[in-house]
């Protein structure tokens, strides 16, 4: 029986795309200075002509910005207040400094994982969606076990917003050697085998930048996730 | 091949510029029509109709932009507590109707002032909606000063149109950035005067 509270939110991302914010080249340092003044623990992971990335190590929040987009990300968020408050502040500074008045696309992505050791269980849950049904006789024409099944689709609403949904069983290993150093990584939350549920909320029309408040948007979308995913998998 | 790409890119007007232009057109139409209606009161209805037609055309182009209402609309329509932004949008839409009514029945002073009395509650409703990092509270305060400072005088057509213009600004920029709030304060100061009792003080004398 599926229960939404069993899902672990592994990654939360807010991506804002825009056009021709070439003031980035002139004013990147000014943005960094403003952000570091308010968030002294922030560290600049990379500062380059094409993209700048900063990280808040305590909360595992990262922010990358360039002349074409802003990407705000948090791994294993315990709540949305940290990313929401940081996002509101940083995005406002970037927009103001780079004089961005509209976004061409706003995307808010949630990657959840449900711990399931047996792939067959994942398959049963995916069948609950009604989007997936391969009769056993069709499987038996080729073999006996169905593996690596995935569901991927998009649903749009009024040609204004859309949801990109991807479901699939994952088996993975934690490779600490690939992670950047110095490292402080809590591996206790890492799930080796489970059903990954990836939902991407996105806009299909340009949005005035003043209407995008990171905290409000994430709060609204995370509420929606519960009804959307529960509706799919129950 | 590369040259073609450069030409194609330079010919594309960024969405942000289009949005900005539409906002400016809208502001100018509202401003100029209000001014003309004051100069030529005998044809104010025709001027208002003309301006409304232009604004409808502008809205068609603005339809290419997504409204805050669509962005924050929850999946479940029975959502009991909508987000702060959705609530602001709802309040603004609701109170905008009083302004539209006041303009339509402008000549009937009693009915018009009744509509305006109903509208005056709006900034107080905004007090109960809090969204982090937004200057909506400052707009509410400025509106209170403007409206309450003029509560004993009947509203002019220009003032009502100015209020609609302000609501329009908020709809397009719910977080009310500094540039927007400066424009709003400027409009309110022009139409209502924000100095309050200090307006009567002769600083030089």
pLDDT at position B82: 61
Q: Average pLDDT, stretch B100-106?
A: 85
pLDDT category, B17, cuts 50, 70, 90? low
Q: Average pLDDT, stretch A28-53?
A: 94
pLDDT tens per residue, range A184-206: 556 667 777 889 999 999 999 88
| Number of structural domains in chain A | 1
pLDDT at position B77: 63
pLDDT at position B197: 65
Contact A216 B176 (CB under 8 A): no
- With an 8 Å Cβ cutoff, is B83 touching chain A? yes
Residue A40 burial by Cβ neighbours in a 10 Å radius (0-12, 13-18, 19+): exposed
**Domain assignment of residue A14, given as a range:** 4-233
Q: Cα B120–B122–B128 angle (5° rounding)?
A: 140
Q: What is the rounded CA–CA span in Å between residue B52 and residue B34?
A: 11
Tell me, yes or no, if the pTM score tops 0.90: no
- With an 8 Å Cβ cutoff, is B8 touching chain A? no
Give CA B98 to chain center in angstroms: 13
Contact A18 B74 (CB under 8 A): no
Contact B74 A19 (CB under 8 A): no
pLDDT at position B58: 75
pLDDT: is B197 or A172 the higher one? Answer: A172
- Which residues of chain B neighbour A104 with C-beta distances below 8 Å? 15
> How crowded is the C-beta side of A125, counted as CA atoms within 13 Å?
27
Q: What is the rounded CA–CA span in Å between residue B101 and residue B110?
A: 12
Partner residue opposite A208 with nearest CB, options B19, B86, B132: B19
Strand order of the β-sheet with A69-75 is A43-47, A52-56, A61-65, A69-75, A8-17, A105-115, A193-203, A161-171, A150-157
Q: Which of residues 38-67 of B touch A (CB under 8 A)?
A: 64-67
Q: Average pLDDT, stretch A221-232?
A: 90
- With an 8 Å Cβ cutoff, is A144 touching chain B? no
Contact by Cβ (8 Å): A93, A85: no
Q: What is the rounded CA–CA span in Å between residue A115 and residue A190?
A: 10
Across A65-69, A151-155, B26-30, least confident range: B26-30
Q: Which of B69, B31, B30 is nearest to B172 (CA)?
A: B69
pLDDT at position A135: 83
pLDDT at position B1: 40
Res. B171: pLDDT tops 90? no
ipTM, 2 decimals?
Answer: 0.81
pLDDT at position B6: 41
Mean pLDDT computed over every residue of chain B: 79
Q: What is the DSSP string of chain B?
A: -HHHHHHHHHHSPPHHHHHHHHHHHHHHHHHHHHHHHHH-GGGHHHHHHHHHHHHHHHHHHHTTSBPHHHHT--SSTT-SS--HHHHHHHHHHHHHHHHHHHHHTTT-HHHHHHHHHHHTTHHHHHTT---TT--HHHHHHHHHHHHHHTTTSPPPHHHHHHHHHHHHHHHH-TT--HHHHHHHHHHHHHHT-S-GGGGG--S--
pLDDT at position B127: 86
pLDDT category, A129, cuts 50, 70, 90? confident
pLDDT category, B79, cuts 50, 70, 90? low
By C-alpha distance, the chain B residue nearest A100 is: B16
Omega cis (within 30) before A182? yes
- With an 8 Å Cβ cutoff, is A70 touching chain B? no
Contact by Cβ (8 Å): A161, A204: yes
Q: What is the rounded CA–CA span in Å between residue B82 and residue B43?
A: 43
pLDDT: is B31 or B169 the higher one? Answer: B169
Res. A223: pLDDT tops 80? yes
Q: Which of A33, A64, A84 is nearest to A212 (CA)?
A: A84
CA distances from A61 to A44, A85, A86, A165, A180 (A): 12, 11, 9, 23, 15
H or E element in which residue A13 lies? strand A8-17
**How many other C-beta atoms lie within 10 A of the C-beta of residue A147?**
10
Going from N- to C-terminal start, the domains of chain B cover 1-66, 82-197
pLDDT: is B205 or A58 the higher one? Answer: A58
- With an 8 Å Cβ cutoff, is B134 touching chain A? yes
H or E element in which residue A10 lies? strand A8-17
Angle between helical axes of A23-38 and A81-98 (0-180°, round to 10): 140
Q: Average pLDDT, stretch B99-111?
A: 87
Q: Provide the 3-class DSSP secondary structure of residue A146.
A: coil
């Amino acid at each position: 029986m599926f229960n939404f509270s069993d899902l672990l939110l592994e990654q939360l991302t807010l991506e804002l795309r825009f056009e021709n914010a070439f003031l980035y080249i002139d004013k990147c340092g000014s943005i960094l200075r403003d952000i570091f003044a308010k968030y002294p623990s922030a560290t600049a992971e990379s500062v380059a002509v094409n993209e700048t990335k900063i990280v808040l190590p305590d909360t595992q929040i990262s922010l990358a910005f360039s002349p074409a987009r802003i990407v705000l990300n948090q791994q294993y968020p315990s709540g949305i207040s940290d990313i929401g408050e940081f996002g509101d502040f940083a995005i406002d500074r970037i927009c103001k400094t780079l004089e961005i008045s509209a976004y061409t696309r706003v995307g808010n992505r949630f990657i959840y994982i449900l711990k399931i050791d047996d792939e067959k269980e994942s398959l049963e849950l995916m069948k609950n969606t009604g989007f997936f049904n391969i009769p056993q006789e069709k499987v038996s024409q080729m073999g006996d076990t169905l593996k690596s099944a995935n569901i991927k689709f998009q649903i749009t609403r009024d040609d204004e917003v859309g949801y990109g949904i991807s479901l699939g069983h994952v088996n993975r290993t934690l490779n600490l050697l690939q992670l950047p150093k110095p490292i402080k990584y809590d591996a206790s939350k890492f799930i080796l085998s489970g059903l990954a549920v990836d939902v991407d909320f996105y806009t299909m029309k340009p949005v005035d930048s003043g209407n995008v408040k990171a905290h409000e948007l994430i709060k609204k979308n995370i509420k929606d996730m519960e009804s959307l995913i529960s509706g799919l998998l129950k | 091949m590369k040259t073609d790409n450069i030409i194609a890119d330079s010919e594309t007007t960024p969405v942000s510029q289009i949005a900005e232009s539409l906002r400016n057109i809208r502001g100018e139409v509202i401003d100029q029509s209000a001014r003309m209606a004051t100069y030529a009161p005998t044809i104010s209805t025709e001027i208002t109709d003309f301006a409304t037609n232009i604004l409808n055309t502008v809205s068609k182009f603005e339809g290419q932009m997504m409204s805050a209402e669509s962005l924050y609309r929850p999946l479940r329509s029975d959502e009991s507590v909508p987000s702060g932004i959705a609530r602001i949008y709802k309040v603004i839409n609701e109170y905008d109707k009083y302004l539209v009514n006041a303009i339509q029945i402008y000549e009937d002073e009693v009915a018009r002032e009744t509509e305006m009395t109903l509208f005056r509650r709006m900034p107080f409703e905004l007090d109960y909606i809090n969204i982090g990092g937004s200057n909506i509270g400052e707009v509410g305060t400025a509106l209170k000063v403007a409206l309450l400072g003029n509560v004993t005088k009947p509203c002019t057509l220009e003032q009502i149109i100015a209020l609609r213009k302000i609501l329009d600004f908020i709809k397009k920029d719910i977080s009310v950035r500094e540039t927007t709030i400066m424009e709003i304060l400027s409009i309110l100061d022009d139409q209502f005067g924000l100095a309050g009792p200090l307006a009567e003080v002769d600083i030089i004398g």
